Amino acid sequence: MRPMEQAKRPVTALAGWYGHPLHPALVAVPIGAWIASLVFDIGSHLVHEPGFLTQGSRWLIGLGVVGAVLAALFGFLDLFAIPTGTTVFRIGLVHMTINLAVTVAYAIGFVIRGGPAGGPVGWGPLALSVVALAALGVSGYLGGELAYHYGVRVADEATQERGYETTTAKEAKERI
């Protein structure tokens, strides 16, 4: 099997079936939770009684960390399908490393925010969230490169081409 074909196939059914990896679908949970937490963080500085936003932000961060760990497990399975020593594997390692650092940063942010709070989110935790979210954007770009530029875990071109055939083209092939 050629290296590119190997990178398109799942290592195990747990990673999702051919052409339908689970990792990209699962990353929506931490990304959404962490973006919403930043909105809550900023909002906590704009309202009179910010306690509900401060607490909501902390729990969104916790939800994002749990979702990121789950997404990472499936991402590891996708990484194992990529042949080592390739550009794609190196990009995958950088993508993984940034994601792990972001997850650790958010886990630290969850802990330093502590228990119930009545005031707005502190400037330190807010800055940590901004930096972590920016790093997540870089990692997301790399993930997009893996899928959309290099076709990692994307169905092969022949499979994709079948979706663009017209009924007439299908009938013509069947006659031959």
- To the nearest whole number, what is the mean pLDDT of the chain? 88
Is it the case that residue 162 has pLDDT exceeding 80?
no
Most confident of 15-24, 43-52, 109-118, 147-156: 43-52
Measured CA angle at 65 (ends 152, 110), to 5 deg? 150
pLDDT tens string 61-98: 999 999 999 999 999 988 988 899 999 999 999 999 99
Q: Check residue 143 and give its pLDDT.
A: 96
pTM: predicted TM-score of the whole model, two decimal places = 0.83
Q: Do 138 and 97 form a contact (C-beta atoms < 8 A)?
A: no
Is it the case that residue 31 has pLDDT exceeding 70?
yes
40-57 burial string, b = 16+ CB within 10 Å, else e?
A: bbbbbeeeeebeebbbbb
Look at the chain and report how many structural domains it folds into. 1
Is it the case that residue 176 has pLDDT exceeding 70?
no
Name the residue range of residue 90's domain.
3-175
Q: Check residue 12 and give its pLDDT.
A: 62
